[in-house]
Amino acid sequence: MLKVQGVSKSFGGLRAVDQVSLQVEQGQIAALIGPNGAGKTTLFSAIAGFHKIDNGGIEFEGKPIANVAPHKIARHGLVRTFQITQPFARLSVIDNIIIGAYQRYSDYEHARAHAEGVAEQLGMTKILEQPSVSLTVVGRKKLELAKALATSPKLLLLDEVMAGLNPSELLETIEIIQKINKSGVTILLTEHVMQAVMQLSSYVYVLSYGQVIAHGAPQEIVSNPKVVEAYLGREIVDA
């Protein structure tokens, strides 16, 4: 469904993403992992249209989307969430979600109904009228997810959704993501929380210094020495 081929992106002299290729099949949950600064969020932003790429190509459902405006990509059904949550501050929770729903529905009643449905899926029904700025961390993460989900996406790019969650919130979120996937949404996520990666994804790409250094099923990846090295640093492995 999503094909990234040889994509590179530099900022000034720094190569943030270096000849990255990856693929996500429809219905899959794929993960992109790697140490901090590996270029995961840059890659996400590029896929979603927020960065122009220097070379390579990106295809979504067979259509080329590299360097296409972000809103057009979102309208094709490829929707991202932000690592640092970006709520519409002065709107209530439900109004935030309705903005997402408006992508599919043009009138308020239908958009609201759909938004309420999404909120219920995520267990947010009690906080609908709250101002979005008053939410807790997990509330904000859920809202970020709800907004994206309300657009009826085909593929979701989830950027470190699990960061900052406690164990029970983590389990809840993992369940939610599985439900979303079962309902037909393909997912590509980046994560640091390995538990989530192992439980959710069926395929993993590992990014280090902007390059894909390994990819495969989660079990293979975890025991791959190159991956361990990337996370822990060369000296420790050599020692």
* CA angle centred on 24, ends 23 and 26, rounded to 5°: 140
Query: Residue 140: CB partners within 8 Å, gap ≥ 6?
Result: 85, 87, 132
* Least distance from other proteins to the Cβ atom of residue 191, Å: 19
Per the structure block, which two tokens stand in for 236?
């420790």
Give the residue with the Cβ less far from other proteins, 14 or 236. 14
- Binder of other proteins out of 89, 182, 225, 238 (CB under 8 A): 89
Q: Are 7 and 52 in contact (CB under 8 A)?
A: no
Give the residue with the Cβ less far from other proteins, 127 or 197. 127
Give the residue with the Cβ less far from other proteins, 157 or 170. 157
Which letter does DSSP use for residue 168 in this model?
H
- Binder of other proteins out of 62, 90, 182, 223 (CB under 8 A): 90
- 3-class secondary structure, 34: coil
Residue 8 is a binding residue for other proteins (CB under 8 A): no
* Least distance from other proteins to the Cβ atom of residue 120, Å: 17
* CA angle centred on 20, ends 17 and 22, rounded to 5°: 135
- Binder of other proteins out of 50, 194, 198, 224 (CB under 8 A): 50
Number of residues that bind other proteins (CB under 8 A): 35
Single out the segment in contact with other proteins by CB under 8 A; choices: 19-27, 145-153, 195-203, 211-219: 145-153
Q: Are 208 and 230 in contact (CB under 8 A)?
A: yes
* CA angle centred on 222, ends 217 and 224, rounded to 5°: 95
Give the residue with the Cβ less far from other proteins, 145 or 204. 145
Spatial distance between the Cα atoms of 111 and 115, rounded to a whole number of angstroms: 6
- Binder of other proteins out of 14, 69, 113, 237 (CB under 8 A): 69
Give the residue with the Cβ less far from other proteins, 86 or 219. 86
- 3-class secondary structure, 85: coil
Per the structure block, which two tokens stand in for 109?
């009643």
Spatial distance between the Cα atoms of 27 and 1, rounded to a whole number of angstroms: 9
- Contact map string, positions 171 to 210, toward other proteins, x by CB under 8 A: ----------------------------------------
Give the residue with the Cβ less far from other proteins, 95 or 169. 95
* Least distance from other proteins to the Cβ atom of residue 94, Å: 6
